[in-house]
Amino acid sequence: MAEEIRLKIKPDFLLLARERAALQFAALREFYEPYAPYTDEMTVRNKARNLKRLIPATTSRMQG
């Protein structure tokens, strides 16, 4: 019974995590876009690396 309930709930948490990650990515992109011509390649790489760290951490925390 508990296993059935957990299986039903888990996809919802994954969907929420994906939506949250997408919103975070969109917000960061919107924030950094005006500065794009002024940033060097290393800064862009660091931001991308930080995003890659942020998104899996969010999803794994949600899975519990």
pLDDT tens digits for range 40-56: 666 767 777 777 766 65
Question: pTM for this structure?
Answer: 0.35
d(CA 14, CA 28): 21
Say how far apart CA 54 and CA 16 lie, in whole Å.
Answer: 15
CB under 8 Å to 28, separation ≥6 — which residues? 47, 51
**Which parts of the chain register pLDDT below 70?**
1-11, 33-42, 44, 53-64
Given this model, what pLDDT does residue 39 score? Answer: 57
